[in-house]
Amino acid sequence: MNLSQQVQALKEQLVQLRRDFHEFPESGWVEYRTAAIVAEQLHQLGYHVYVGEEAGKSESRMGVPPAAVLQLHETRAVSEGADPAWIERMKGGHTAVVGVIRTGKPGPVLALRFDMDANDLTESAKPEHRPVTEGFSSQHKGTMHACGHDGHTAIGLGVARLLNNHRDALCGEIRLLFQPAEEGSRGAKAMVDAGWLEGVDYFFGGHIAFQSKRLGEIVASTNGFLATTKLNVEYTGKASHAGAAPEEGRNALLAAATACLHLNGISRHSGGATRINVGRLEAGTGRNIVANRATMQLETRGGTTELNEYMKQEAIRILEHAAMMYNVSCEWEIVGEAPGAQSSPELIPLIRQAAEHMGNVDAIVPSRDLGGSEDVVYMINRVQEQGGQASYLLFGTPIDDGHHQECFDFDEEVLLIGTELLARIVLLCQEENG
């Protein structure tokens, strides 16, 4: 069979994997069941498999949940069929997985990245929502795959299988990086700091349906990544009786509310696009009590790393001065961060060549701006710093709802396109360097 026929033969398996991951979604750093399935399949294919602290540097992780939460999800993963042996090796939120083929023959080092985590969102129960009607909607309230990472992981395993079928044609080294905690820009840096992008000549990542909603369209090179910082904030004041002794209280709620309003008033920068959003605010304990505590989750973004730095520093200044206004304390923590990046334009002809051999691709867009943030930029930048080339592709497909929305779903034919295209790209790189 040729490569396209091999991918068609994998269709049922790719769809089944995607739906399984969709039904059992897991947030960043608790992707135990997903990661265990990935690790086992790579192991069965004969890859060298690395998990735990070998796959991601522990101290470089951002926004890791508390130990009790991690343990709860470890137990849940086993109850839902994960191999306890793999879970044991991933304890403590070390859910990155790397699969490596070392051919022993001279050649390039290639790395491909696939993100695994889901969103903190409850999936729609509407009867017209396809995962509901076809029986694979999320079993985990408050968590769903609303960004296509279930598809990305399935594509990664499909690529792993195809490359294994073509081992005799491979040279150099192939690294498949299955990354946790992309949401919130928390996970890629740990894999970079663990060394998995060292010596890489070619790097490829990609995303389903982002800025490309037509099946059969491929965007070969993505630019316009927004640099971003994610912050958690806590204000601490003093509770008091709101009627009998309001003057004895120090109101954390008012400090947080003041900060929210002034954060959205930060002057925009003449140098380019800037963003800020307070996505969550909680405060107080009751209507007759001066609020002694408030928590906030916010993010900044910028068209460049420098623009985001401007927004971040202005945000921190406002957070701290709002606390001073109300005589409360303010503690903030960076729980996710990513710089800007640009794909390597030199790879566009190679990607075009790979796509032109595919009957299910009918449009190849050379480049498009992402207009969002993605921590894959850590990997892109590290490869380029060493003289390598890196590109982030977009795989077009219709979607039922926008990314990060409760009715998100996509046309599963894109699984075949993503799998075949990435495998073809790897094999073309081998031909040019073998």
DSSP string, 264-277: TTPPPPTTS-EEEE
pLDDT of residue 139: 97
The predicted-structure confidence for 40-63, as pLDDT tens digits, reads as follows 999 999 999 999 999 999 999 999
pLDDT exceeds 70 at position 147 = yes
Torsions phi, psi of 194, nearest 5? Answer: -80, -5
pLDDT of residue 144: 98
pLDDT of residue 431: 78
The predicted-structure confidence for 341-377, as pLDDT tens digits, reads as follows 999 999 999 999 999 999 999 999 999 999 899 999 9
pLDDT of residue 268: 87
Nearest residue to 329 via CA among 292, 381, 287, 302: 292
pLDDT of residue 430: 82
**C-alpha distance from residue 376 to each of 139, 178, 200, 203, 225 (Å):** 28, 11, 14, 10, 10
Alpha-carbon dihedral angle through residues 390, 212, 146, 9, given to the nearest 10 degrees:
-80
CA 162, distance to chain mean position in Å, is 24
What residue ranges do the domains of the chain occupy? Answer: 3-225+341-433, 227-338
Is it true that domain 3-225+341-433 has CATH number 3.40.50.300?
Answer: no
pLDDT exceeds 80 at position 434 = no
pLDDT exceeds 90 at position 305 = yes
Which of the two residues, 140 and 372, has the higher pLDDT score? 140
pLDDT of residue 316: 98
Q: How far apart are CA 221 and CA 347, in angstroms?
A: 8
The predicted-structure confidence for 398-431, as pLDDT tens digits, reads as follows 998 999 999 999 999 999 999 999 999 999 998 7
Residues of the chain with pLDDT > 90: what percent? 97
Average pLDDT for 156-162: 98
pLDDT exceeds 80 at position 271 = yes
Is it true that domain 227-338 has CATH number 3.30.70.360?
Answer: yes
